Amino acid sequence: MSAELRIGGESIAPGTRATVELPIPQLYTHTPLTMRVQVVRGRRDGPRLFVCAAVHGDELNGVEIIRRLLRRPALAKLRGTLIAIPIVNVYGVLHHSRYLPDRRDLNRSFPGSGRGSLTAKLADRFMTEIVANCTHGIDLHTAAIHRDNLPQIRGNLDDPETLALARSFGVPVLINAAVRDGSLREAAAALGIPTLLYEAGEALRFAELAIRPGVQGIVNVMRGLGMLPSSRRRRARSEPFVARSSAWVRAPESGMFRAAKPLGARVDRGEQIGTIADPFGDAEIAVTADHSGLVIGRSQLPIVHQGDALFHVARFEDVVEVAQQVEDFQAAHDDG
């Protein structure tokens, strides 16, 4: 990779910080829009890491994670380059929406095309200006609307370099997730760029139990890559657990849903983990776990239809040990 770094036609020199406004298609009101890119370059050469958020416009925890990351004093000692994009899907953020105005999902539209739809153009701009200039990436997400996710890292953990990055992040749960067609991870992988996906919290909400581990996790990855010096106060971190598989427990009937298990809870096969009640009578139906594991995602809606996804349960070799580690992790990041 060339020592020169150019984004949006601007050259960013080593040892400098810069903000680049990448023009993107304007609104139909002729209001101009830009994708803001914040670049921190160390004086010494090293890895180039992109960290992005709000690829889905209603997933906001990552915006706050990047804001706090850029305020870290340790960046004064940076080796290499940090390229931070707090809001990728500007259109979605404006409308509190996961999607773009053309109703397409940006994370199913990479690598995009400069001659395609609005979403394809945005994806193409991001790939050519950001991803192609980097050696590694971290994509910050939350659960979909009306769901909540336990902090977790997803990635192609069969790739040794990606696995090493995932382990260094510092969350207890790692998901070996196949890439989805059109995803940013898939497009980055095609360019040989290892990319992690951090999932935590819910859409349109800030959650400290998602934000704090996200900031610290990115710093941990940067230390692992040699971009930041090691911490003087070394904390012993437990080895994360890789899920063998995961599946959703779905609603057996329609009605009013009451969850009995929180995120991070251990569940046993056949155990009652919730209840669905008839809103017009006294009938209640138990929701039971289809398999043993750990709750890594959960519906937040009390109104459900038959077949709706209620609990996302991951399978582990030692679910008791991972449940204890998740409990310790949550306590460490709890704001009281």
Residue 239 lies in a domain: no
Q: 92-121, pLDDT tens digit by residue? A: 999 999 999 999 999 999 999 999 999 999
Residue 119 and residue 45 share a domain: yes
**The domain spanning residue 255 has which CATH number?**
2.40.50.100
286 in the same domain as 153: no
45/135 same-domain check: yes
Output the pLDDT for position 336: 55
**Same domain flag for 184 and 44:** yes
The list of the chain residues with pLDDT below 70 reads 1-2, 234-237, 335-336
pTM: predicted TM-score of the whole model, two decimal places:
0.95
Asked if residue 237 is part of any domain, the answer here is no
How far is the C-alpha of 61 from the C-alpha of 214, rounded, in Å?
9
Same domain, yes or no: 188 and 252 = no
Tell me what pLDDT residue 1 has. Answer: 65
Question: 174 and 46, same structural domain?
Answer: yes
Q: Which residues pair with 51 in a beta bridge?
A: 84, 138
Q: At what angle do helices 208-224 and 160-169 cross, to 10 degrees?
A: 130
Summarize pLDDT for 174-184 with one digit per residue, the tens. Answer: 999 888 899 99
CATH number of the domain that residue 69 is part of: 3.40.630.10
Report the domain count for the chain: 2
Residue pair 104/89 in contact by the 8 Å Cβ criterion: no
Domain interval for residue 185: 6-225
| Residue 111 covered by a domain | yes
